[in-house]
Amino acid sequence: MRLKRLHIRYYPPGLILDYEKAGQEKSRCIDLLHLSPEDKIATGSFDKTCKLWSAETGKCFYTFRGHTAEISTLVATGSMDTTAKLWDVESGYEVSTLAGHSAEIISLSFNTVGNRVVTGSFDHTLTMWDVPSGMRLHTLIGHRGEISSVHFNWDCSLIVSASMDKTCKVWDAENGKCLATLIGHDDEVLDVCFNYTGQLIATASADGTSRIFNAETYQCVWKFEGHEGEISKVHISILLAAVVTLFYYYLQIHALS
């Protein structure tokens, strides 16, 4: 099999693969794209199988069988009603309600495997949930202000959170323990994210600066200044070449050099 073209399908989220097999051109729709650091693509399909592909050659390494129904995706939503909900994107039906916070849920994030979701609330806590059962696994306590943003790293081992208490915290995703507190901002931290490899953490703050922290040493390695007001969003490019920050309607790109 030789992969010829790859198309992005926005809804339902997925891919369309055009490939050649035995001299014939074929096409297959794939749901649940998952990219791994080892240059492989794991996919779930409506043919009730999972497959592992080479991202370089398009070769199918393995086909995993065993599901008795098509493999579907979930969407998680967080609400001002203090709950989060999991929804099946194919049927549109609610799968489960995640209840336990005492204030609004402002941020949430799936891990890359899809079996865990973490929620961040104005009650100053984070909660980690088991997706299949909807059960609460850990409550992460330590911030002294509302949670503004939460994210897993790529290998699902760490969680990072941003808070109105001017700090970010790094948590062990397995046991929920706080590993470090990232300090330095003079005002509320409004957004936080890992880079693709999980080696760096980027923050955006109401103090008008963005910072980059080493995810292993927890030390600040870059500080970006230039916005005239609070920074609401931050993202590190996949090539580690730049950081993008958002201030109201204005974007700034900061070179990592």
Q: Which residues contact 90 (CB under 8 A, 6 or more apart)?
A: 12, 70, 72, 73
| 57 in the same domain as 104 | no
Same domain membership, residue 150 and residue 47:
no
Same domain, 60 and 165: no
Question: 216 with 118, same domain?
Answer: yes
Per residue of the chain (257 residues), give pLDDT as tens. Answer: 455 565 555 444 555 666 667 777 777 655 543 444 445 565 655 565 656 666 666 677 666 555 444 444 678 889 989 999 998 866 778 899 999 999 999 999 999 888 999 999 999 999 999 999 999 999 999 999 999 999 999 889 999 999 999 999 999 999 999 999 999 999 999 999 998 888 999 999 999 999 999 999 999 999 988 888 898 888 887 655 445 555 444 445 555 55
Q: Which residue has the tokens 């994107």?
A: 89
pTM of the model: 0.69
235 and 185 belong to one structural domain: yes
Residues 131 and 246 in one domain: yes
Q: What is the CATH number of the domain that holds 15?
A: 2.40.10
In whole angstroms, give the CA distance from residue 101 to residue 81: 9
37 and 158, same domain (yes or no): no
Structural domain containing residue 168: 74-255
Q: Are residues 91 and 214 in the same domain?
A: yes
- Considering 65, 94, 120, which residue would you say is the last residue of a domain? 65
Chain center to CA of 111: 6
DSSP state of 217: T
In contact, 166 and 187? CB cutoff 8 Å: yes
The span from the CA of 149 to the CA of 38, in Å, is 28
Instruction: Say whether both 231 and 117 belong to one domain.
Output: yes
